[in-house]
Amino acid sequence: METVQKLYKALKNKNLIELSDIIGEECRCISNVASSLQTFYGKEQVIDFFKSIIKLLGNNNFEIVFKPTTHDGTHVGVAWELECSDTHIPIVKGFGFYHCHYYKGRMMIRNVEMIMEPLLQIEPLRLQVIDFFKSIIKLLGNNNFEIVFKPTTHDGTDVGVAWKLECSDTHIPIVKGFGFYHCHYYKGRMMIRNVEMIMEPLLQIEPLRLVSDNVRESNKLFLDRHIFI
């Protein structure tokens, strides 16, 4: 347990020397924290992985908080959270399993599993995303508007779409934009993990742009007729 505590302390303090002292030469690490699920073999690769986490923590803006869940001597399980240092609100959270062994008289970490849970399970972020989509549903109203979309890119787990919000009666686009979605399998189901939904500037929408142009032209004519030099 003490060795795993040293690991999280070293991450918090960004201490690479202390990290190097507790990572075994033949250590293996499986994680999806810094990128998609990857396996790192050997001390050098595992140290590089933890370097990427330290870089992710930035200049003390975030910190890792952990709590042991299981411990039977050489096997340790922990639940961890990445928190904002100021608000202590969890940004991401996950769990880890560590297998330690004695090597040359010292307890070293031999195997690491550090898994980050899907972002939408984090309560503050999940609620914000739900509120965002609720606002879109409210905007649609009582069938006065509808969203029309067309896929633009698709490579399995990453999907791009072009979308527009139309008036149901006239089918004139009110606003339009594009979206990018990253999906992954979780508990046997394909789930959306990341969402980018961007609305184009309103004056790029043709009907609205023409109305705006007409208003500007009317204002110009009014000024030409009523301003005297």
Where a domain ends, among 96, 117, 138?
117
Residue type, 168: S
Asked if residue 94 belongs to a domain, the reply is yes
Counting the structural domains of the chain, the total is: 2
Taking a C-beta distance cutoff of 8 angstroms, is the pair 20, 4 a contact? no
Tell me the C-alpha distance between 213 and 207, whole Å.
10
| Claim to verify: residue 46 and residue 130 sit in the same structural domain | no
Pair (91, 142) in one structural domain: no
If one counts every other C-beta atom within 10 angstroms of the C-beta of residue 18, the result is: 15
The answer to whether residue 112 is domain-embedded is: yes
Same domain as 64, residue 130: no
Residue 144 covered by a domain: yes
Query: Are residue 174 and residue 71 in the same domain, yes or no?
Result: no
In a domain, 108, yes or no: yes
Tell whether 96 and 24 lie within a shared domain.
yes
d(CA 100, CA 7): 12
User: What is the side-by-side order of every strand in the sheet holding 158-167?
Assistant: 145-154, 158-167, 173-186, 189-199
- 41 in the same domain as 134: no
Select the highest-mean-pLDDT range: 21-25, 120-124, 193-197, 214-218. 21-25
Given this model, what pLDDT does residue 169 score? 79
> 69, 93, 117: which is the final residue of a domain?
117
Q: How confident is residue 139, by pLDDT bands cut at 50, 70 and 90?
A: low
Above pLDDT 70, what percent of the chain?
Answer: 73
Instruction: Identify the weakest region by mean pLDDT among 183-187, 191-195, 218-222.
Output: 218-222
* CA–CA gap between residue 23 and residue 29 (Å, rounded): 10
Give the structural domain span for 201: 123-205
pLDDT at res. 100: 92
CA distance 104 to 25: 11
Q: Does the pTM exceed 0.85?
A: no
Model pLDDT, residue 229: 40
